[in-house]
Structure 1
Amino acid sequence: MKLANEHDPLGTSAIQSRQGFAHFLNHLLVAYQSNGKDWENQKLGDFLEALAAYATDIDGYYRNISSADELVVNADVASWRVFADMLRGATIYE
């Protein structure tokens, strides 16, 4: 399992299953309970608006974090990882 890093603080790149996604959601909840006041989008409506925008723009995120030796994630192919990255992104997306 790939460890979290500066680009992947909640370890979303290792998510490959529904169980991994559920584990991520538990970590996201703990992060919210610990630091939710620091999230960009604290209200549900703001969070959902950011989630919709991030879902549209996530391919840019994947291009930005990719390197020559890293496989680019195809944001158009639904996966547990892409779902997790969208939720994580909505916590900071303006």
Structure 2
Amino acid sequence: MLHNKVEEVKSREDLIKFLLHLRKDLQTKGNAWENITLKDYLEAMEAWVEDMDGYYLNTNQPIPKQPSWKTIADILYAATMYE
């Protein structure tokens, strides 16, 4: 499951692996993605970053003060489905 792969991201190498999984997920399950065009994906990414404090608060995680490799993975993953 792609969400589980996000939780594994701790380093640049992990993010590279996550990007591979993200790309493969789009190729095999793209019809399940909310945002499959680059335009929609980037708009969702922008909106999620603007609202991401709520996600971290709702999931009992600290709000990142500086983005980590996992934060980048969170953003990329969220943009697949965020409206």
**TM-score after normalising by structure 1:** 0.79
Corresponding position of 1:84: 73
Instruction: Tell me which structure has the larger Cα radius of gyration.
Output: 1
Q: What does residue range 1-94 of structure 1 map to in structure 2 within 5 Å? A: 9-66=3-60, 72-94=61-83
Q: CA deviation at 1:75?
A: 2.8
Structure 1: gaps (5+ residues): 67-71
Structure 2: gaps (5+ residues): none
Q: CA deviation at 1:74?
A: 2.5
Q: CA deviation at 1:12?
A: 1.5
Higher helix share: 2
Moved more, 49-58 or 11-20: 11-20
| Whole-Å separation in 1 of the counterparts to 2:19 and 2:72 | 10
3-state SS of 2:46 partner: helix
Aligned partners of 1:10 and 1:24 also within 8 Å:
no
**TM-score after normalising by structure 2:** 0.88
Which structure has more RCO (C-alpha within 8 Å, separation ≥ 6)? 2
| Whole-Å separation in 2 of the counterparts to 1:9 and 1:62 | 15
Count of aligned positions: 83
